Copies of this chain bind each other. A is one copy, B any other.
Amino acid sequence: MEPDSESIAVPNGSIEEDRRSPPPPPMPTNPMVTPLLADLYQFTMAYAYWKAGKHLDRAVFDLYFRKNPFGGEYTIFGGLEECIRFVANFKLKEEEISFLRSAMPTCEDGFFDYLRSIDCSDVEVYAIPEGSVVFPKIPLMRIEGPVAVVQLLETPFLCLVNYASLVTTNAARHRLVAGKSKTLLEFGLRRAQGPDGGISASRYCYMGGFDATSNVEAGRLFGIPLRGTHSHAFVSSYMSLDEIIDKALLSHDGSSTCEDFVTLVQNWLNKIQRAKSLHGVFGETNQSELAAFTSYALAFPKNFLALVDTYDVIRSGVPNFCAVALSLNDLGYKAIGIRLDSGDLAYLSTEARKFFQSIEEEFDVFDFGKMNITASNDLNEETIDALNKQGHEVDAFGIGTYLVTCYAQAALGCVFKLVEINNQPRIKLSEDVTKVSIPCKKRCYRLYGKEGYPLVDIMTGENEPAPKIGERILCRHPFTESKRAYVVPQHIEELLKCYWPGNSHKTREELPPIGKIRKRCMQHLDQMRPDHMRRLNPTPYKVSVSAKLYDFIHFLWLSEAPVGELQ
């Protein structure tokens, strides 16, 4: 399957439709994501705001990250749809309120009445479209509304965006290193950080460019294509061919029945053993394994893919597989291939390919040499890169642990910062300059150059005139005075779009189905200048502010920071 394909192998009705349906009506959300999926301080702050009569102050928060993950210079934004679904359904239940009452026993009753009354009808959410390539400091989302309510969204939004964006980025990085021609399978459920970590991983790895998952529940929920065959346990659960009772197999065209498929397999194994071109490669193969393969082929003659490393890949697994595949071939079926799950994947895949090619020549079986080889042993970006450099014959990679847990960097540091309240810009200072927040309600643009690549992202104040095509604009680094450049954009994209208009009457952007988001992601990645995307020493993409915003940031910074006294 092409990485940018939209086709979905597994039929999926209601969810896709639901995503295309119009605005507000409550959409199904992850059952774990409730208003209590928050830090306690959101509720204590809400109480303090309420107590001070400040809870309706109109606040603007930015959600952004400070550094790209995995040593790279890009990130893919994921998690938006889940945030919007959360907002659409935001309403505290009676039992949640009574739990909060018990957890905050000193708070006045009126506060719990207030909690009972709130929803997100006067909240506005602006965001960059999900699946976009994004960069540090630029808000992925801007959330406006009554300060107490917006503050309650902080942790759920961060929780929904942080991991989603991290694992989508990880998947995209694996796609880039593997290349478009390889099939990428996500096999991570068993090693994921909790059940929902597994489900989220499958969803966002597909979004980031994977072709399929082993996770059945993710297939059901999101219509992601499913893949899977058998494990080592299946192989070792067989002792011998005698265990196979029903040996009959109907031919692919239904015209005839082979009454003893087991004998057919044994005969093929003998022929392979005697074949000159394969002479001496193997002796006796493991009979448990042969029985398991034969049995699996009888169950799935159209989808025969065998795990060949339970005992010994070259001396047992591959010849046993070939005997079964050639028997299937006699009946008009085409075996799919093998999976390698241990050992030197470069060497074993190359040896297996040679074996398949010898079989093709020796027995004149069309395309047998092109048999699919899947590899799946603790793979990650580095090992795939190393395999590519060494040379291998793997067609599909099954990737689990390192992909879904984002082992190379297990967290993305998205933050949620107040940038304006009651039209007053606010800044958060820090001794670490990279942690200073960029104040003001902002607009954000991506400026493209002559060659069609994005050149720079720029933030301006809400009311500054937008940059214009063909007009020179000064782009400044937000904190470093000397870093600045003039840009003449050939194309301009406003980044933040309205996904939840609240009662502002703005048009609400559609939430596209996952296939479309995946396509956007692949297109965005293709569009980037290659040096930003390199695995080693990539060029940083520039993120800037307008001259006016630069001046304002530094004015506010000085006015808020206390002046030291040297003694």
Contacts and interface: CB of A to CB of B under 8 A. Distances in A.
A89 interface: no
Nearest to A217: B36
A474 interface: no
A53 B246 contact: yes
A52 B217 contact: no
A43 B198 CA distance: 18
A430 B313 CA distance: 10
B299 A159 contact: no
A358 interface: no
Given A36-B217, A52-B295, A102-B10, A194 B191 contact: no
Interface in A319-371: 342-343
Contacts of A191: 158-159, 162, 411-413
B189 A200 contact: no
Nearest to A400: B411
A567 interface: yes
A159 B190 contact: yes
A298 interface: yes
Contacts of A413: 191, 401
A114 interface: no
Contacts of A418: 232-233, 236-237
Interface in A46-66: 47-49, 51-54, 57, 59, 61
A302 interface: yes
A523 interface: no
Interface in A183-233: 187, 189-201, 214-217, 219-220, 226-233
A94 interface: no
A43 B216 contact: yes
A239 interface: yes
A106 B426 CA distance: 61
B52 A562 contact: no
A31 interface: yes
A190 B198 CA distance: 17
A224 to B, nearest CB: 11
Interface in A242-271: 243-246
A560 B195 contact: no
A132 interface: no
B45 A421 contact: no
Contacts of A200: 193-194
A500 to B, nearest CB: 19
Contact of A282 (B48, B233, B562): B562
A428 B310 contact: yes
A100 interface: yes
A25 interface: no
Interface stretch (A120-128, A402-410, A514-522): A402-410
A228 to B, nearest CB: 3
A194 B163 contact: yes
A252 to B, nearest CB: 12
A280 B567 contact: yes
A168 interface: no
Contacts of A43: 216, 228
A160 B195 contact: yes
Contact of A189 (B37, B299, B311): B37
Nearest to A166: B193
Indicate the member of A103, A106, A315 with the most B CB atoms within 10 Å.
Answer: A103
Contacts of A51: 246, 295, 298-299
Indicate the member of A44, A220, A342 with the most B CB atoms within 10 Å.
Answer: A44
A273 interface: no
Interface stretch (A283-291, A440-448, A450-458, A463-471): A283-291
Contact of A562 (B48, B164, B286): B286
Contacts of A473: none
Contacts of A100: 216
B245 A40 contact: no
B189 A48 contact: no
A49 B237 CA distance: 10
Contacts of A193: 163, 167, 192-194, 197, 200-201, 405-406, 410
A246 B48 CA distance: 12
Contacts of A49: 234, 237
A330 B106 CA distance: 20
Interface string A418-436: 1001001011111110010
Given A51-B295, A237-B426, A315-B562, 20 more contacts: A30-B32, A38-B189, A39-B216, A40-B228, A42-B228, A44-B299, A48-B298, A49-B234, A100-B216, A151-B234, A155-B189, A164-B194, A190-B414, A193-B200, A193-B410, A195-B196, A236-B427, A237-B418, A285-B562, A401-B411
5 contacts: A32-B217, A40-B214, A159-B190, A196-B196, A233-B417
